[in-house]
Amino acid sequence: MNSNLNIRHLFYLLLQPEKITLEVVVTIFLFFALSLGSFALAWYTGALHRKVAVRLPYPLILVSGIASVIFFIAGYFPAQAVLHYLPGYSCIAGQLIVLIIGVKLMAEAIRFNPEEKIVLIDDQQTLIIVSLAKGINYLFIGMGLGFCYVLNFYVFIVLFGLEIMSIASGLLSGNRFGLHRSIRTLLLISGIAVVSAAIRSIFVQF
């Protein structure tokens, strides 16, 4: 009975748009930071397709957006489900997960070489593999936030919107302006922003 009440209460909170809390703002900031990385990768993809005269992979926009939301939810809801059975410092543990993802993004940005990392997306299999590979970050971000916050439903819409806009604008920009190595800086900024948000959330727990 209590379990059913908890589930109903969770969905009640998810559907309340007026509950714009600091936690929601931090979450949207994280989504924006991750979308910078998506924009940079999409830019290089668009530039590569221009270089080899292959049509842009427009389905990537929708597939990547859907995959990001699904992976985030796959991490978020299981974490929320077990939250009541975890010790009081579960939020710190969750933010440590987010911190690790941020450090991972920074390390990948430092080692990033577009000639080696960017692949030509010319079939459905490659499209799905690329979307799934990027979705892993959202899985662990969702898990980390699930140990801390109850988010309303509209946060997921924001995630989807930011992802499709960043992919679409990145593809078109890369296709128009070509390969610019300076764009990789956005990948580093993305990782730094994720780390900063995680550290801030850890400190406010004390």
Biggest CA pair distance of the chain:
60
pLDDT per position as a tens digit, 131-157: 888 899 999 999 999 998 888 888 899
Q: Indicate the residue type of 25.
A: V
The secondary element (H helix, E strand) that includes residue 89 is none
* Tokens of residue 29, six digits: 């900031």
d(CA 195, CA 198): 5
- State the pTM of this model: 0.84
If DSSP codes are grouped into helix, strand and coil, which group holds residue 131?
helix
pLDDT band at 69 (very low <50, low <70, confident <90, very high): very high
* Overall average pLDDT of the 34-62 stretch: 92
pLDDT band at 8 (very low <50, low <70, confident <90, very high): low
pLDDT band at 19 (very low <50, low <70, confident <90, very high): low
pLDDT band at 20 (very low <50, low <70, confident <90, very high): low
pLDDT band at 1 (very low <50, low <70, confident <90, very high): very low
* Overall average pLDDT of the 159-173 stretch: 95
pLDDT at 5: 46
* Overall average pLDDT of the 26-39 stretch: 92
pLDDT band at 118 (very low <50, low <70, confident <90, very high): confident
pLDDT at 18: 45
Between the alpha carbon of residue 109 and those of residues 113, 114, 206, the distances in Å are 9, 10, 31
